[in-house]
Structure 1
């Protein structure tokens, strides 16, 4: 957990404890800054589509950073979320980036193997929702700015915080990193013969109900309005800086090249 921040990992947001293993696990396969937290919370609040957040993100300083060097605790955490973050209808969602799988493989290959077997080795029953961001320039700018500033959530923003100086190199590096991660997903889908449901963040924003209906249909789940639950709200970050960066990028500015 992170002091002063609501991350969604808090026990107060658990579902009633689920007996046995979830019958319908699915992966939200995506990349950083794709709007995946907002999308995952929309899925979660239906009360019927699990609670897909980053249960395998053990990076130091993150919401599960206290587990970063304890493999036993990581494996107990995984078993715990299977029980407490499975919705009552047996649906469990996990959100992840390729870099998180790579980090977990280096840190705890035993857990990664268990996760892959459970989530992605189910033959025709394997379910993956591939969330992408159609506006690649906006995606790369968002990733670059967050990486430079360390501000990944609106709750980390505050008055008087300086905007990181524009860096074309940082944007281009972010774009390459996004492309590399997308290529990793594509290779995994091909190798495991997975046919994911592809959803664009822009479409989720413009018509959330249709995106949720598509996800439920893909998973073979009926959304019951009476099952709706309260989840932590994901506030959109201020977009003023992103607009300034987009204008500078389009204008061909080269500021910040030496600092990225």
Structure 2
């Protein structure tokens, strides 16, 4: 079955070339297969450059919180489908859950809104299977910094801390503005989706959780009704460092001066949701 092309334009970035991340979707990182449905499901609902991969790696390493990766990213659907013998979205999703549910029965996944929309349009029957006990809404308060990070990643193709920049970044206010508008649009989509589905939402700001990962994991465990400490073996998954340097800081300061109206609008939005 043709799962279609990656909706990179909708997501706000080009399809990344990340062989290191691709390896995480291979069989070497599966849990022991299970035929039982997950006892508990959660979703990281986020936007690009909000630290979602770092949070996902922290949750995965814990051992008892599943392996929350971008399983509905068409790139990874095409990568995983052959070994799962998937005949379409439904069998694909069942195959993912069978191999990426932690030993205690917890399944998690990370989702950007355009992937959710695309999957829903192509297979409406999948949507009920995506319902989660908890939606972890990860957002970034500093939308200008997020837009700068996205614009820079698009230019350099360095989507993770272990990736080298393929080209030198060049400041482009119009590009940053486009990224900012795309991010704000996706936040509105998430707010509408949560309201429409009546999702149980835990909102976490990027600025609050970095450096407090142990505390955040404890909060997530409590919301899922899990023991306070992991009762499963930890998983050896490489962590991601923060991608921040003087260049990004200079771009943020410059954009706030050159586009004060947009900067003000982004600041006024504040936290999109509350826990």
TM-score of Structure 1 vs Structure 2, range by shorter chain? 0.7 to 0.9
Question: Equivalents in 2 of 1:232, 1:113: separation in Å?
Answer: 35
In the TM superposition, what are the counterparts of 1:23-172 in structure 2 within 5 Å? 23-59=39-75, 63-66=76-79, 72=87, 75-106=90-121, 109-110=122-123, 113-114=125-126, 116-120=127-131, 126-158=133-165, 161-172=166-177
TM-score (norm 2): 0.78
Query: 2:262 — aligned with what?
Result: none
CA deviation after TM superposition for structure 1 residue 248, in Å? 2.5
CA deviation after TM superposition for structure 1 residue 10, in Å? 2.0
CA deviation after TM superposition for structure 1 residue 2, in Å? 6.5
- Report Cα offsets for 1:14-70 as digits up to 9, x if no partner: 1111231101011111111110000011011111111111001014xxx555579x9
> Residue 154 of structure 1 contacts residue 238 of structure 1 at CA under 8 Å; is this kept in 2?
no
Q: What is the RMSD computed on CA atoms of the aligned residues? A: 2.6
CA deviation after TM superposition for structure 1 residue 173, in Å? 1.2
Which ranges of structure 1 fall in alignment gaps of 5 or more residues? 254-260
Secondary structure of the structure 2 residue equivalent to 1:153: coil
CA deviation after TM superposition for structure 1 residue 145, in Å? 1.3
Q: 1:165 to 1:231 in 2, by over 3 A?
A: same
Question: Equivalents in 1 of 2:223, 2:111: separation in Å?
Answer: 19
Secondary structure of the structure 2 residue equivalent to 1:19: coil
In the TM superposition, what are the counterparts of 1:6-21 in structure 2 within 5 Å? 6-7=21-22, 8-21=24-37
The more displaced of 87-96 and 70-79 is 70-79
Question: Equivalents in 2 of 1:225, 1:18: separation in Å?
Answer: 18
> Residue 46 of structure 1 contacts residue 225 of structure 1 at CA under 8 Å; is this kept in 2?
no
Q: 1:216 aligns with which of 216, 221, 228?
A: 221
- Report Cα offsets for 1:160-210 as digits up to 9, x if no partner: x43221111111111111111111111111111123011111222121111
Which ranges of structure 2 fall in alignment gaps of 5 or more residues? 1-15, 260-275
The more displaced of 127-136 and 220-229 is 220-229
TM-score (norm 1): 0.82
Q: 1:146 to 1:15 in 2, by over 3 A?
A: same
Q: Does 1:202 align with 2:198?
A: no
Question: Equivalents in 2 of 1:189, 1:105: separation in Å?
Answer: 15
> Residue 64 of structure 2 contacts residue 231 of structure 2 at CA under 8 Å; is this kept in 1?
no
Q: Does 1:229 align with 2:216?
A: no
Query: 2:11 — aligned with what?
Result: none
